[in-house]
Structure 1
Amino acid sequence: MQLDGAARRFLLAALTGFVFLRLWAIFAVPFTDTTEARYAEIARKMVETGNWLTPQFDYGVPFWGKPPLHTWLSAGGMQLFGVNEAAARLPILLTALAVLFLIWHWVRETVGRNAALVVTVVLATMAMFFGASAFVMTDMPMVLGTTLVMVGFWQAVSDADSRWGYAFFLGLAIGMLAKGPVAVVLCGIPLTLCLAVTWNWHLLRLLPWGRGMALLTVLVVPWYVAAEIATPGFLHYFLIGEHVQRFLTPGWQGDLYGSGHQEAKGMIWLFWLMAALPWSLVPALLLTRLGKTVTMFRQDRSGLLFYLLLWAGSPVLLFTPASNILAAYVLPGLPAAAVLLVILFAQVFGAKPSRAARTAFAVATSVIFALFLALTSGAIFAPQQIRLKSDKSLVAAAHAALPDAQLYTLGGRSYSAEFYSRGKSRAIEVEDFESLAVDGAPAAFSVSPDKAAEAAAFGLENLGEYGRHVLFVTPTAGEVK
C-alpha cells in the first residue's frame, strides 16, 4: 500500500484524536448502569474487602459469572490511583492499546508499514472497539487473549519462532482468565477450519506443546481450583450454565446475576454490522467487484486472507444459532476484520488510494469521531437531557444533604449508586419503603418518578430529579446548600 506524507499525517492525527477523546471520556463520563457500573462495583468491593480471589456480586455473595482478570485489572487500577472512574478504566484502555500495538506490529511485519498504519486506524475507529476500549467489562481483555493466540499461531508456524508459540499459549491463558472456555472455542473454530481445509495439520507440531501447556496450566488452573474450593458450585455454574445454557436456552432463567438477553437467532450478523461501523460498509464496495475479490483469495499463496476471514467470522459462526447474545460478542473478530478489509480494498481497488477513496476514508473517520464526541459531550454536559443511566449526581446530592445516611434505591439495585456511595446504597422493595420512611432515622431514597407522589405522602423532602430517579430525604435533612 502506498501512502504519501499527507495521508500518513492524517492517519496519525486521526489516531491521536481518537486516543485523546477516549482519555477525556475515561476521566469525565460517569459509570452507567447496568454493565459498566456493575463490574466497576465488583472491582471496588475487591479493593475494599481485600478478597482478590473471589469477585463479589454483593458483600459475601460470590460472582460466578466471569473469571477475575478484568476485575483484577480494574481493582488494581483503583488500588493504585484511588476509587474513581479513570482508575478502573485505565487498565482496560491499556489492554485495547496492547491489541492495537499487536495488530500494528503483525501487519507491519506481514504486509508492510503503510498497511499497518491504516489497519490500526480502522480498528481503533470501529464503533464497538472504540466503545469497549475503556469500558469496564470482560470483553477487551479477552480480545487481547484471542488476538495473541491468532497472531502467535500465524507467526509460530510461518517463521518457526518458538517465542510466538509461547505467545499462543499465553493468549489462551489470558482468554481463560478473562472470559473462560469461550475464548478457546473462538480461537479453535478458525484454526480447526483453516487446518482442515488446507490439510496442514502438521503445522501443529511447530508449537511448543510441552512447555506451552505447562505455562497455560500454571497460569490458569490454580485460580479455577482455588475458586471452587472457596465457593463450591462455581465450576458447575460457570462451565455448564454460562457456557452451555446461556447460549442454547432462550431467555435463560438460571442467570444468578441478571436476566437473559433473548434475541432472534442470527441477530449476531446485525450486531457485527453495527459493531464494525463505519467500516462494515466496505464489504458492500468489495461486492461490486466480486470477481476480483474472489480472485484475490484464490491467488493468495500464503493463505493469510483465508485465515483472516475465518478469524473474523468465528464469533458470527459460533453465535448464529444462539439467542442469548450481546453485541459485544463480535469483538474478538474485529481485529481480523480490520486487517482483511484493508488488504482486500488495497488489492481490489489499487495499492495507491484514489482521491475518492481518500475522501471517503476521511469522511467516515470524521463522522464516527463526531458521533463519539457528541455522545461523550452529552454524557458530561447534558446527563439530565439524555437521561444518562447513572446515579452519580444523585449520590452526590444525597451526600450533601445527609453525609452519613444510608441510601435506599426503591425497586432494584443501582450499581452506580453502590459504586459512588462506596457501598452505602441498598435496594429495597415497596413493602419496606414505608417503615424506613417513617422510622425517623436519617435516610435518603432514590425513587422512580412514578413513585414520587407516594414518597411525598410520607413527609419526605423532594430534592429534585437526577437522571432517571427522584431523590427524597428524611425531613431532618433540610435543604441542600
Structure 2
Amino acid sequence: MTPCQQKSCLTIHRPSFPMTEKTKSWLTIACIWLLLLVLALIRPLSLPDEGRYADIGRWMFISDDWLVPRLNGIPFFHKPPLLYWLQAEVFHLAGVHVWTARLVTAVHALIMLTGVYLGVRRILGEITARKVSLVLGTSVGYLVGGQYINHDFLVATWITVAIGLFAVAMKDDDKPDVFWARLGFLACGLGVLSKGLIGIVLPGMVMLTWVILMGKTRQLIHFPWLSGLLICGLTTLPWMLQVEAQFSGFLDYFIIGHHFSRFSGSQFNNHQDWWFYPGVIGIFMFPWVLFIAWRVAQQIFKGKVLRGGLAALRLNPWTSLPWIWLGVILLFFSLPNSKLIGYILPVIPAVAILAVQNWDALMGHKKSANAWFWGVCGFSLALATGANFLARYNSMKDHSQDVAQTLTCLSNPEDKVYVFGEYPFDLPFLAQRSQALIVIENWDEVRKNSGDNWRRVFFEGADFDHTAGQVLQSPEVLKQSSPEVRWLVTPAQLSHPNMKDGWQVAFKGHAWWLWRSGPALAQITTPEAQRCGLTSDIKP
C-alpha cells in the first residue's frame, strides 16, 4: 500500500492574500482611523465648542431648516454650514448621540490621512507615504483634533487636500494638469464652506509662494482660473447669497465682522504672544518636531542652510513645499492678536512630511532605523491616547450630563426651561430639548458691556431674527408666578440666595443645579425620584 493509500493525500489550498506594500499602507490607515473612532467614544462633550457645534447640527436636524444654522433657535452666523449639514444627515441616518456628532470630524480625519498618503505616494513613493501616514496618524494633533467637534479640522482637511491637488497638478514642468487643478478649486470651495475664506486664501498663498520660488510661474498662464473659480463660486456663493437675501446685513457680519475684523482687531478674546503657535505645533507633533529641529541645527552648523540660495531650493521642490506650507500658514495665524489652538491644524500634514524627510536623512542609514521609527510612533501614540484621557478628565468638570438626565426624566417636552448665570452648551443636546431654552440676563446691560463671549453670540444673532430672540429675557420673568411647571438651570458655583417666588432646588448636579417652580415638589413620587436617581436631592 502506498503512503497516499495509508493516509489522506487531500491537499487543502488556502487562498493567498498578497501583503503588498500598498496593502500594508491601507491597513495602517484603517487601523489608525479605527483607533480614532474608539477614542471618540470615551469623552463627554468638551465645552463650550463641542456642546455648541453639536447642538447647532441637532437643531438643523430637528428644525429641517438647512439654510440657517441656529444655536438655541437663534441664528448663528459665525461659521459656514458644512459641518451642520453633514451632522444633520448623520443624525438622520444614525441617531443623535455624542459619537455620531463626532463622526463628521472623524470622516474628515480619514480624508486628510488618505489624501496625504495618496499625494505623497504619487510624488515621493510608497514607503515614504506610509511613513508620513504613521507620523501624522499617531500624533496628538491628529488623534485628538480629528474627533473634536468644531470647524478647525474640517477646514484643515480641505486646505490639505487643495494644496496636495494643486501640487500634483503642477508636478511636471510643462502645462498643469487641469483635472487635478479643478479638483483643487473644489476642495477650496469645501474649505470655504467649512470655516470661511481661509479655505481658499491659505492654499492660494502657499501655492503662489511655492510657484514663484520654484520658478514655475509659466504654469500659472495655463492654469484653469476661469473654470476653477467658477467651481469654487458655485460651491460657496449660493448659500451666502440666499442667506443675505433672507437676512440683510449677513455678508457684512460674516465676512467683515468675522473674517477681516477678527484678523486685524484687538477686541477679541484669546490674546497670545507670537511664540504661541510654535509651541502648539510642538505639542501636536511631539516628538517628531525634535528630529526636524535636530536636522535643521545640523544644517545651520555646517553652513548649508543658506548655501546655494534659491537655486538650492529649486533642486528639490518637494522638500521646499512642506517648509513653505508650514511657514506661510504659521506666519498668517501668528499675526492676529487672537489665537486659538485649532487654527494651526492645517500645518500638521506638512510637519509630518518634514519629520519623515528629516528622519530619513538622520536615521535612514542605520540598521536599527526601522525599529526606532516604530518606537517613536508608539511613543507618539501613547502621548495622543493620554491627551485624549486628559481631555476627558477636563470635560468632566463642567458637563451637565447629570442635570440633563434628570431634566429629561422629570420634565415634559412642553415645560419651559430657563438658564441663568451661564449657558450650559451641552444641556440641550444631551436632554434632546425640542424647544429653545429661555436665557435669563439683563440684556440691556449686556449689550453695553459684553465682550467677546457667549452672550454676544446670542444678542447679535437675535438682531437677525427678533422672533427667535424672544428667548432672551430679563430676570423679572423668574419672579412671575405661574401655575405651570417651570425649570431653571444655574451653575453650581453661582452664589445662590434664598430663592423666592416658588423656586426650589430639585437636583444638585456636579456642575449645575436644577430648580423647579410650579406644583409642589412633594408631588414627585418616590418611584419617580428613584428612577431619576434623585432620592437624596429632592427638596420638598
Give the TM-score range, shorter chain.
Answer: 0.7 to 0.9
Shift of 1:35: 0.8
Q: 1:426 maps to what in 2?
A: 438
Task: Indicate whether 1:289 and 2:301 are aligned.
Answer: no
Task: Indicate whether 1:167 and 2:183 are aligned.
Answer: yes
After TM superposition, list the pairs within 5 Å mapping 1:59-458 onto structure 2: 59=73, 61-159=74-172, 160-252=176-268, 260-291=269-300, 294=305, 298=312, 301-350=315-364, 354=369, 357-358=372-373, 360-372=375-387, 374-375=389-390, 378=393, 386-387=396-397, 389-404=398-413, 405-421=415-431, 422-424=433-435, 425-429=437-441, 432=475, 435=478, 439-451=482-494, 453-454=496-497
Compared CA separation, residues 147 and 112, structure 1 to 2 (3 A): same
Q: Is the 8 A contact 2:109 2:157 kept in 1?
A: yes
Q: Which runs of 5+ in 1 are unaligned?
A: 253-259
Query: Which piece of structure 1 moves more, 406-415 or 174-183?
Result: 406-415
Q: Is the 8 A contact 1:407 1:445 kept in 2?
A: yes
Query: Which piece of structure 1 moves more, 229-238 or 140-149?
Result: 140-149
Shift of 1:373: 5.3
Amino acid of the residue matched to residue 93 of structure 2?
Answer: L
Shift of 1:329: 0.8
SS at match of 2:66: coil
2:321 and 2:63 map into 1 onto residues whose CA distance is: 45
User: Which digits, 9 at most, give the CA deviation of each residue in 1:421-471, with x for residues without a partner?
Assistant: 324433224872783586453233222234464256776554544332123
Q: Which runs of 5+ in 2 are unaligned?
A: 1-18, 443-473, 531-540
Q: Is the 8 A contact 2:154 2:194 kept in 1?
A: yes
Q: Is the 8 A contact 2:52 2:425 kept in 1?
A: yes
Shift of 1:339: 1.0
The number of equivalent residue pairs is 462
TM value normalised by structure 2: 0.77
1:466 and 1:100 map into 2 onto residues whose CA distance is: 40
After TM superposition, list the pairs within 5 Å mapping 1:51-62 onto structure 2: 51-59=65-73, 61-62=74-75
Shift of 1:318: 0.4
Compared CA separation, residues 463 and 284, structure 1 to 2 (3 A): farther
2:288 and 2:480 map into 1 onto residues whose CA distance is: 53
1:68 and 1:265 map into 2 onto residues whose CA distance is: 31
Compared CA separation, residues 351 and 75, structure 1 to 2 (3 A): farther
Q: Is the 8 A contact 1:65 1:242 kept in 2?
A: yes
Q: 2:49 maps to what in 1?
A: 35
1:105 and 1:454 map into 2 onto residues whose CA distance is: 61
Q: 1:257 maps to what in 2?
A: none
Amino acid of the residue matched to residue 413 of structure 1?
Answer: Y
% same residue: 22
Query: Which piece of structure 1 moves more, 186-195 or 34-43?
Result: 186-195
Shift of 1:188: 2.3
Shift of 1:14: 7.6
Q: Is the 8 A contact 1:251 1:261 kept in 2?
A: no
Compared CA separation, residues 451 and 175, structure 1 to 2 (3 A): closer
Compared CA separation, residues 194 and 247, structure 1 to 2 (3 A): same
SS at match of 1:95: helix
SS at match of 2:429: helix
Q: 1:466 maps to what in 2?
A: 509
Q: Is the 8 A contact 1:265 1:322 kept in 2?
A: no
Amino acid of the residue matched to residue 186 of structure 1?
Answer: L
2:104 and 2:514 map into 1 onto residues whose CA distance is: 33
1:75 and 1:418 map into 2 onto residues whose CA distance is: 15
2:391 and 2:266 map into 1 onto residues whose CA distance is: 34
Compared CA separation, residues 299 and 168, structure 1 to 2 (3 A): closer
The RMSD of aligned alpha carbons is 3.2
- Larger radius of gyration, structure 1 or 2? 2
1:456 and 1:21 map into 2 onto residues whose CA distance is: 48
Compared CA separation, residues 81 and 13, structure 1 to 2 (3 A): closer
Amino acid of the residue matched to residue 331 of structure 2?
Answer: L
Amino acid of the residue matched to residue 33 of structure 1?
Answer: L
User: Which digits, 9 at most, give the CA deviation of each residue in 1:240-284, with x for residues without a partner?
Assistant: 1111111221233xxxxxxx3222344333232233334333333
Q: 1:256 maps to what in 2?
A: none
Compared CA separation, residues 29 and 406, structure 1 to 2 (3 A): farther
Query: Which piece of structure 1 moves more, 321-330 or 9-18?
Result: 9-18
2:46 and 2:438 map into 1 onto residues whose CA distance is: 17
SS at match of 1:470: strand
TM value normalised by structure 1: 0.86
